């Protein structure tokens, strides 16, 4: 059976499972559409939350970024994991106790202001749309490769699948679909990692194999460091970036995680306040299974890909174009080239494909002596690395098919959660909360489904023109959530900030962060959607992906200043804040 047929079997079986679950768990009320009827078990919710969280950025892109940068991109692991600790301790139980359906509804009621609710809807939509671009990009990459179509066609197919199970199932259908998707994606991520770890180190546990020895007797990381430095790249395990910017970036990811509406919504689905905290704990356990494996996947993939281009060692000859064209070991390159995400060119006509850092001073002298005209691997989209890894390592065909299903599960699960957050904001917070408060439940449910269908259309269009790699695009969404939504939630629970302060803080945090991103990227007048290269930082050494933490500080500062200069909160809101925070009120929330 050929690889394409095997891919179709794995992907088709997983899609049949997802759509079957969605039909079985079809939402019949607004409570089921928005919060799955508040009857999800904490372990089930933890698994669904993990799937909701471990998106195309985690599954497809994160290991690729770690592979090509090394230690400095461990920020993604630290920031995203740390955000769940903040959620478990500071937000999830209190928001569940408040007993609402959406983040915007909490902000509107807590700050006793329709304007605050409307601003929260705006912040939510901007952050979620930015985030979903990365997911749709990942869908296009995965479909494009494994169905052997271009990435645009792949993205359109993925959009149809999301529509099939998310529009009708709502949160109830999405929850149980995400449980299935978690099982698929975690198996698809860890099984190839186990195979490759055994190949390179003899250790079946990838996280331990990362620190093991290769067949030559040298430690894997030492071997990798030697190879990449010989090619003019930075040492893989060294910290080569700006520490200040790295800390800010990690902080932006942490508080952005804690402020993302599609994640917070998951904690509205459990029966009790205590269950919300347990859900966050279980989510961390399920997430850790992938995140402890990701560094090993990145390092081992970098070692394998480098050795593919220098099969005789760094001091030997680069791989020949003829070998790439005829050797079955390079079938993966020919296949990925068809997607447009991988490309090479024999610039100097020597019949070999040189791979080295052509911007390195250390390599300039050797390149001149050898007659090299530059790095001849002209295109290597980092998002393909995890998906191509089993093929590079020559793993069995069924493993490649499993990875296809896993990559798609990761992208689709998060895309569905984000689209649900957007549709809930439009139908529940905008239409019911602002435009038509008297709308019937049937009408609201219909508007929620129409809003989700429209959101899928917008996300698909933007996914066709993403501003960067999946994980990097997602990082911008975290910055926006960190600068706008997270401070409002924290102040709503733990402070006496009033409505004017909250609105001023959210608007200022969002606008300042958006302006910084657009100015830094050069997108202000004519967006260059094909480039994600940072310009020179506008403030100190802060990159646009790290500015969310600064935007959050500005949000807090403006909110407190405006609140102190205006009327204090009414007594009933003060009582509400106290009731949300005080533990003895937790039992009452069980009745919600």
Residues pairing with 342 in the sheet: 380
For residue 313, the model assigns a pLDDT of: 67
Distance CA 268, CA 261 (A): 11
Distance CA 434, CA 448 (A): 15
Comparing CA positions, the residue from 131, 52, 141 lying closest to residue 380 is 141
Distance CA 432, CA 455 (A): 18
Comparing CA positions, the residue from 525, 527, 487 lying closest to residue 508 is 487
Structure tokens given for 528: 């260059």
Are 432 and 30 a contacting pair, CB within 8 Å?
no
Distance CA 201, CA 199 (A): 6
Distance CA 475, CA 76 (A): 9
Residues pairing with 379 in the sheet: 343
pLDDT along the chain (592 residues), means of 10: 87 87 80 82 92 79 86 88 86 84 89 94 86 76 73 82 75 86 93 95 94 89 91 90 89 90 86 88 92 93 87 73 89 83 88 87 85 88 83 90 86 81 86 87 87 85 66 71 94 95 96 84 47 58 87 97 96 88 52 46
For residue 26, the model assigns a pLDDT of: 77
Are 459 and 159 a contacting pair, CB within 8 Å?
yes
Cβ contacts of residue 354 below 8 Å, gap of 6+? 318, 348, 370, 372, 374, 375, 376
Distance CA 543, CA 552 (A): 15
SS (HEC) of 12-50 = HHHHHHHHHHHHHCCCCCHHHHHHHHHCCCHHHHHHHHH
**One-character DSSP codes across 289-348:** HHHTTHHHHHHHHHHHHHHHH-TT-TTSPPPBHHHHHH-GGGHHHHHHHTTTSEE---TT
Maximum alpha-carbon separation in the chain = 80
Distance CA 135, CA 129 (A): 10
Which strand (E) or helix (H) includes residue 379? strand 379-380
Are 270 and 38 a contacting pair, CB within 8 Å?
yes
Q: Does domain 3-38+75-229+246-301+392-591 have CATH number 1.20.1730.10?
A: yes
Structure tokens given for 587: 């039992």
Question: Is residue 10 packed enough to be buried (19+ CB in 10 Å), middle (13-18) or exposed (0-12)?
Answer: buried
Distance CA 478, CA 494 (A): 22
Where are the domain boundaries for CATH 1.20.1730.10 in the chain? Answer: 3-38+75-229+246-301+392-591
For residue 112, the model assigns a pLDDT of: 94
Q: Cα separations (Å) of 532 from 74, 431, 518, 523?
A: 19, 36, 11, 10
- Quote the pTM value: 0.83
* DSSP structure class, residue 398: H
Distance CA 57, CA 159 (A): 17
Distance CA 592, CA 584 (A): 16
Are 383 and 137 a contacting pair, CB within 8 Å?
yes
- Say what the alpha-carbon torsion angle 522, 523, 527, 531 is, to the nearest 10 degrees: 50
Are 303 and 237 a contacting pair, CB within 8 Å?
no
Residue 68: Cβ within 10 Å count: 19
Round to the nearest angstrom and report the end-to-end CA distance of the chain.
Answer: 54
For residue 173, the model assigns a pLDDT of: 82
Q: Where are the alpha helices (DSSP H) in 111-242?
A: 114-146, 151-201, 206-209, 220-230
Are 395 and 145 a contacting pair, CB within 8 Å?
no
Q: Cα separations (Å) of 556 from 86, 164, 472, 502, 549?
A: 17, 41, 26, 9, 11
């Amino acid at each position: 059976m050929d690889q394409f047929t095997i891919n179709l079997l794995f992907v088709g079986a997983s899609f049949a499972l997802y759509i079957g679950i969605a039909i079985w768990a079809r939402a019949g009320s607004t409570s089921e559409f928005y919060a799955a009827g508040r009857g999800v078990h904490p372990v089930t919710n933890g698994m669904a939350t993990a799937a909701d969280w471990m998106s195309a950025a985690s599954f497809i892109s994160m290991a690729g970024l770690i592979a090509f940068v090394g230690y400095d991109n461990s920020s993604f692991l630290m920031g995203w994991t740390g955000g769940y600790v903040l959620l478990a301790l500071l937000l999830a139980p209190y928001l569940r106790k408040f007993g609402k359906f959406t983040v915007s509804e909490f902000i509107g009621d807590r700050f006793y202001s329709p304007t605050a609710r409307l601003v929260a809807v705006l912040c939510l939509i901007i952050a979620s749309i930015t985030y979903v671009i990365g997911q749709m990009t990942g869908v296009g990459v995965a479909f494009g490769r494994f169905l052997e179509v271009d990435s645009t066609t792949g993205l359109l197919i993925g959009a149809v699948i999301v529509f099939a199970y998310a529009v009708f199932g709502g949160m109830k259908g999405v929850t149980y679909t995400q449980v299935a998707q978690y099982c698929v994606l975690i198996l698809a991520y860890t099984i190839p990692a186990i195979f490759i770890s055994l190949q390179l180190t003899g250790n079946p546990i990838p996280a331990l194999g990362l620190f093991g020895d290769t067949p030559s007797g040298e430690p894997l990381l030492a071997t990798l460091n030697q190879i990449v430095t010989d090619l003019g790249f930075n040492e893989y395990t060294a910290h080569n970036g700006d520490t200040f910017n790295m800390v800010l970036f990690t902080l932006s990811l942490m508080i952005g995680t804690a402020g993302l509406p599609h994640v917070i919504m998951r904690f509205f689905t459990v029966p009790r306040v205590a269950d919300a905290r347990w859900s966050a704990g279980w989510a961390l356990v399920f997430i850790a299974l992938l995140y402890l494996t990701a560094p090993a996947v990145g390092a081992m993939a970098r070692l394998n890909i480098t050795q593919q281009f220098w099969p005789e060692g760094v001091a030997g000859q680069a791989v020949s174009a003829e070998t790439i064209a005829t050797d079955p070991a390079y079938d993966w390159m020919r296949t990925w080239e068809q997607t447009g995400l991988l490309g090479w060119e024999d610039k100097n006509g020597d019949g070999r494909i040189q791979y080295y850092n052509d911007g390195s001073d250390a390599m300039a002298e050797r390149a001149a002596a050898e007659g090299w005209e530059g790095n001849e691997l002209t295109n290597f989209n980092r998002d393909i690395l995890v998906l191509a890894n089993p093929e590079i390592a020559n793993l069995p065909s069924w493993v490649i098919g499993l990875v296809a299903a896993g990559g798609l599960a990761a992208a689709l699960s998060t895309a569905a959660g984000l689209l649900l957050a957007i549709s809930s904001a439009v139908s529940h917070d905008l239409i019911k909360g602002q435009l038509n408060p008297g709308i019937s439940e049937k009408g609201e449910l219909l508007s929620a489904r129409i809003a989700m269908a429209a959101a899928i259309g917008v996300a698909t269009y933007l996914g066709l023109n993403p501003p960067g790699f999946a994980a990097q695009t997602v990082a911008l969404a975290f910055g926006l959530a960190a600068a706008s939504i997270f401070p409002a939630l924290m102040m709503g629970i733990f402070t006496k900030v009033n409505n004017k302060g909250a609105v001023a803080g959210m608007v200022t945090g969002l606008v300042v962060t958006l302006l910084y991103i657009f100015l830094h990227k050069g997108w202000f007048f004519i967006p260059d959607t094909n480039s994600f290269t940072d310009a020179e930082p506008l403030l100190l050494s802060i990159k646009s992906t790290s500015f969310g933490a600064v935007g959050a500080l500005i949000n807090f500062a403006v909110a407190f200043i405006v609140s102190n200069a205006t009327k204090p909160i009414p007594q009933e809101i003060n009582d509400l804040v106290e009731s949300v925070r005080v533990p003895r009120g937790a039992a009452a929330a069980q009745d919600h």
